[in-house]
Amino acid sequence: MTNTYPETTQPVGLPRLNEQAPSFEAVTTHGVIRLSDYEGSWLLLFSHPADFTPVCTTEFLAFAEIYPDLQERGVELLGLSIDSVYSHIAWVRNIEEKMDVKIPFPIIADLDKKVATLYGMIMPGESKIETSRCVFVIDTKGTVRAMIYYPLTTGRNMREMLRLIDALQTTDKHKVATPANWYPGQKVIVPPPRTQEVADARMSDGYECVDWYLCKKNIEEATGA
Amino acid sequence: MACINDTTLSRSAQKLLTVADPPATTAQLAQRAQLALFQVRSGIRELIAAGFLIENEARYRLSDAGRVQLYG
């Protein structure tokens, strides 16, 4: 059981933001899955170093916990490590047996490292035989929208996963940006004005402006909701 | 590679078979089977390769072999 992907769609180099995510076909715990199977959904593709390891187990429990929240946002989860599908099956069964948590999403068995290599998930300075803790947020059209890389030692923050998805989807829906530490319900950043006239108007149009180039607004106000 | 390949259909693939009569699109199958789209697309490939489903103009229907698989 090896993973393959169409040669015609192979990009040169690693994934980049706002470019098409590299396509693949991979053996998973839920059968053979292609990236294109997720067309129309958002996808959070993430790698972990190895099955039956402590930090990864805490992460899988946490990913399983936020899975319903992700699904509410139209996001699917797909895990990956350089382990066999039998190892994955044994591990998720162990998690369910020992921790009473069902892992509801598929995990790629990337024994030949094809998908890991395609996405640059292996950091040889850390480990030549394991994937680091990488996250790729891929939108409904298959475009890479965000990438996060964490080292082997550091478990990911699930609130940040949800916050990131919320921020990206808010940007798409309202054509705005989100400030540092933003959470849904808080004010968003409007694009800087491109003309002096708009800059002048911005200061008196009900926006919360620190200065003409840094203005925030409530989304509800902007949409009339 | 395992020493022998398991050819048992997954539960979601069996579920897809049961809802493919009458013929349906991918989205309709997803709705009928209460499965995510990615599961339906992946399952359809598995079932077509096994000869249990037939595609015709983006609609999927049970083949004779699929009917036998389902109802014996």
Distance CA B34, CA A191 (A): 41
Of the candidates B2, B38, B45, the beta carbon closest to that of A76 is on B38
Predicted pLDDT of residue A108: 98
Cβ-defined contact of A76 to B36 (cutoff 8 Å):
yes
Distances (CA, A) of A51 to A18, A24, B64: 31, 22, 41
What is the average pLDDT score of chain A? 91
* Whether pLDDT at B29 is above 50: yes
* Beta strands, E only, chain A: 25-28, 31-34, 42-47, 75-81, 107-109, 133-138, 144-150, 188-189, 208-211, 214-217
pLDDT 10s digits, A53-95:
999 999 999 999 999 999 999 999 999 999 999 999 999 999 9
Distance CA B4, CA A211 (A): 69
Active site residues of A: 56
User: Which of A27, A29, A30, A37 to mutate against chain B (most B CBs within 10 Å)?
Assistant: A37
For residues B30-39, average pLDDT: 95
Write out the residues of chain B at the interface with chain A, using a CB-CB cutoff of 8 A. Answer: 1-2, 10, 12-13, 36-39, 41-43, 45-46
Predicted pLDDT of residue A224: 36
Report DSSP letters for B2-67, one per residue: -SS---PPPHHHHHHHHH-SS-B-HHHHHHHHT--HHHHHHHHHHHHHTTSEEEETTEEEE-HHHH
A121 Cβ contact partners less than 8 Å away, ≥ 6 residues apart:
A47, A80, A115, A131, A132, A134
Cβ-defined contact of A41 to B38 (cutoff 8 Å):
yes
Distance CA A79, CA B6 (A): 23
* Whether pLDDT at B6 is above 60: yes
pTM of the model: 0.89
Strand partners, B24: B60
Strand partners, A28: A31, A108
CA nearest to A107, candidates A130, A83, A131, A123: A83
The answer, yes or no, to whether ipTM is higher than 0.95 is: no
The bridge status of strand A133-138 relative to strand A144-150 is antiparallel
A32 Cβ contact partners less than 8 Å away, ≥ 6 residues apart:
A25, A26, B42, B45, B46
Cβ-defined contact of A37 to B12 (cutoff 8 Å):
no
* pLDDT, block means (10 residues), chain A with 225 residues: 49 83 97 96 98 98 98 98 98 98 98 96 95 98 97 97 98 96 95 87 82 87 39
